[in-house]
Structure 1
Amino acid sequence: MHVEALAIVCAVRAHGEHGAIVRALTPADGMLAGYVRGGRSRRLRPVLVPGNLIRADFRARTEEQLPALTVELSESRAGMMSEALPAAAIEWATALSATVLPEAQPFPRLYSALDGVLSAVIAAPAARGWATAMVRYELLLLTELGFGLDLSGCVASGTNDDLAFVSPKSGGAVSRSAGELYRDRLLPLPSFLLEGGAGEWDDILDGFRLTGHFLERDLLHGRTVDILAARERLVDRLKRAVG
């Protein structure tokens, strides 16, 4: 096994006295894990930061063996880790990807989307510049893993006009007229997920509420509490940023 590619560092775990096991997302080979000799050294610690873009070289003699991984920094995003809100965004996006993506299955759309979200966080640390992209990434991740929402039309009436809600059970959109009487049982559907563009803050928080429901139900059920705590930190900081 030999894979050489650009990769996004998504998770780093200490292994042994000096090494580290790194999970990184590649464009063509998906999420791969490898052992980095000296990964906890002063030289490599700044390289092996979740969110960083690296040139990765995975090598193993057999498919069953954990590959040895050598790394070279391509783009550092570690500078934003000192800012609370951007750091929470990077931590959540990478931890989510590392937690739910299966090994060695290609997800080129997710790679491009994750790289785009992280680049947006670096380019515009203010959340208004990247929060909608984060919601769209979560939605795409659900879709790519087989749990996509159906926002094409109202599950009750069939119309595709004035879609305003999503059923928390079926994941299907519901029009305003069909859902008004049951709005307390439905999830708000922010307009930016249908029309594109940036959203207002209320819509952005509704978007996180929407995707969070299905992520927790379909992908994160039974997972460790750490991953959900990372998302709670992000949403709490977004709420504080709103005011």
Structure 2
Amino acid sequence: MPEWSDTAIILSIRPHGEQAALVNVLTKQHGRQAGLVRGGQSRSMRGVLQIGNAVVVTWRARLETHLGTMVTEMATPHASAVLDNPLRLAGLASTCAIIEGCVPEREPCEPVFDATDALISMMTDGDLEEAWLAAYIRWEVAMLGIAGYALDLGRCAVTGERENLAYVSPRTGVAVTRAGAGIHVERLLRLPCFLGGIEPGDENNPDNEKTVEQDLLDGMELTRHFLERRVFGLHHQPLPPSRERLAVLMRRKFFPNPEQE
């Protein structure tokens, strides 16, 4: 009978019958896994089985390919740390939902676990909003690579140049310089500076008055485009509602007055 224990992050919880819960987790050594938690709907388990929490899981099944049972113990209550911050709570939920869409089941992916664990720590440890949001967008770029759709943000698709990159082709996912964009500039996605684009305020930037906040929103739009079309859309699924909510909350926070954009 296969059995293992591992550190994990809870991705989703669904009721199963009257008392049990079907729980999906990302583990450090065993990849993305699912298991049935007996009594998972009980009051005593309610605080443990929250999206984003770090837990220690013990998984058992008759065969490796079967849906096993899972026993969970709390390690770090990440969810409770962000309950009073809607933006960070949406970020935590979006992180877990994106993993379910990008990471295949039962394939070891320790680097993904480590990167996700570090990102969640930034959200819950009180890092500045701009810092963890930029880290989140970089993480989404990495998740696109895990899903098989890596972006090429290091060179221009038209000229091959590696400097003055300002845009990304929505078709190929390759960066483009301002000069290389030519008459097609309106069709391209903006490349934020924290992903290798021109710094806001730089004289070569096509929008040299762009703020850090707008740069973050451009990053969210960039990854949204490719997640929607290359990952979730291929399975006829919409983007996770938590991902949409994160983008909406960012826009409201940065530009409470729409005329500011």
**TM-score when normalising by structure 2:** 0.87
CA RMSD of aligned residues (A): 2.0
State the secondary structure of the residue aligned to 1:116. helix
Query: CA–CA distance in 1 between the matches of 2:252 and 2:3?
Result: 46
Q: How many pairs does the alignment contain?
A: 242
Q: Structure 1: which 4+ aligned runs deviate by more than 3 Å? A: 222-225
| Number of the residue aligned with 1:45 | 46
| Number of the residue aligned with 1:232 | 244
State the secondary structure of the residue aligned to 1:104. coil
| Number of the residue aligned with 2:11 | 10
| Number of the residue aligned with 2:224 | 212
| Number of the residue aligned with 2:105 | 103
In the alignment, which of 191, 194, 202 is matched to residue 192 of structure 1?
Answer: 194
| Map 1:1-243 → 2, pairs under 5 A | 1-79=2-80, 80-124=82-126, 127-194=129-196, 200-221=212-233, 222-225=235-238, 227-243=239-255
Q: CA deviation at 1:190?
A: 0.7
Amino acid corresponding to residue 205 of structure 1 in structure 2? L
Q: CA deviation at 1:124?
A: 2.1
| 1:44-97 Cα deviation digits (max 9, x unpaired) | 111010100000111111123211100100000122123211111111111121
Amino acid corresponding to residue 16 of structure 1 in structure 2? G
In 2, are the aligned partners of 1:150 and 1:172 still within 8 Å (CA)? Answer: yes
Amino acid corresponding to residue 206 of structure 1 in structure 2? D
| 1:135-183 Cα deviation digits (max 9, x unpaired) | 0111000012210001121111111111111000011111111114321
Amino acid corresponding to residue 187 of structure 1 in structure 2? L
In 2, are the aligned partners of 1:86 and 1:125 still within 8 Å (CA)? Answer: no
In 2, are the aligned partners of 1:127 and 1:238 still within 8 Å (CA)? Answer: no
State the secondary structure of the residue aligned to 1:12. strand
Percent identity between matched residues is 35
Query: CA–CA distance in 1 between the matches of 2:247 and 2:88?
Result: 12
Q: CA deviation at 1:229?
A: 2.2
Structure having the higher Rg: 2
**TM-score when normalising by structure 1:** 0.94
